[in-house]
Amino acid sequence: MVSSVLTRIGRGLVGILTRPIRGYAPAFPPDLDALSRVIQPGDVLLVEGNTRIAVAIKYLTQSTWSHAALYVGDRLGTREADGEPHVLVEATAEAGVTTAPLTKYRDMHVRICRPVALTPEDREAVIRFMIDRIGYGYDVRNIVDLARYLLPTPPVPVRLRRRMLALGSGEPTRTICSTLIAQAFQSVRYPILPRVKSWDDDRRVKSAYGREEILHIRHHSLYAPRDFDISPYFDIVKPTIETGFDYKRFLWGEDRPAELHPPAGAAQA
């Protein structure tokens, strides 16, 4: 009964919390041409986000990033009306697990996170994991949990913020963006931010092996978009640099030829 009520409330909140915030503008919008040339299948695309729910996620994670999508390349066969292919798989509150073109985020701050040394076989397995879940629902119970932190309440202690993102229904066919991608990489045992425990802490272990660090997989519900950014196992790929960056070619305003400068007192555009 309670779960059903919270689910209905969550669906009602979706339309409110996913509305864009007026006045949002990225500090530096992406070069879409460079982005499309550099991004590769298996890359995680982080998005700053411009909605109320994005504000809650960024607050709870103390991060720039509120959303994550997986780039799968030309495997989907879905296209926009103008012929642009869908190349991203993502979980959104509005549509559940769905697909999108790269231009969806042309006006938002984004970042490419690339899993280092991921084998071709495991990359295909991660992509297949995501594609197989297209059509799954979004965990709208998570919307209810996040909405509480948009209200004028006392700040959430740092130690509890990650747990706030782990709330929700927990149903296997319902997910949120970072949870889905974390599950995809965990399916091939690729690390994101594993818990590390040293066996030196256990006095019963005396062998050389006992001095090694033992990795433990975090529960996928504890992952946030920022974790792919700070993970030591994902490379940060910047399209502007990858496509050829030469600062000597920059044309600074004060370096323009005199004839291009407006006369003194002229109105500025």
Would you kindly state where each structural domain of the chain is located, as residue ranges?
2-192+220-260
Its sign, for the CA torsion 115, 117, 122, 124, is positive
**Residue 95 pLDDT > 70:** yes
Instruction: Provide mean pLDDT across the span 185-190.
Output: 95
pLDDT at 98: 95
Q: Is 203 helix (H, G, I), strand (E, B) or coil?
A: coil
Exposed/middle/buried for residue 78 (C-beta within 10 Å: 0-12, 13-18, 19+) = middle
Question: What pLDDT is attached to residue 269?
Answer: 43
The pLDDT score that the predictor gives to residue 60 is 73
Side-chain-side CA neighbours of residue 120 (13 Å): 0
Q: What is the fold, at CATH topology level, of the domain defined by 2-192+220-260?
A: endopeptidase fold (from Nostoc punctiforme) (3.90.1720)
Using DSSP bridges, classify how beta strands 174-175 and 195-198 pair: parallel, antiparallel or unpaired: unpaired
Would you say residue 72 has pLDDT above 50?
yes
Average pLDDT over residues 107-111: 91
192 pLDDT above the threshold of 50? yes
Give the pLDDT confidence of 198-218 residue by residue, as tens digits: 544 444 445 544 444 455 656
Q: Identify the band that residue 28 occupies on the pLDDT scale cut at 50, 70 and 90.
A: confident
What's the average model confidence in pLDDT over 38-67? 84
The rounded distance, in Å, linking the Cα atoms of 72 and 88 is 6
Q: What is the mean pLDDT of residues 46-56?
A: 79
Strand partners, 47: 67, 110
CA 94/CA 132 separation, integer angstroms = 19
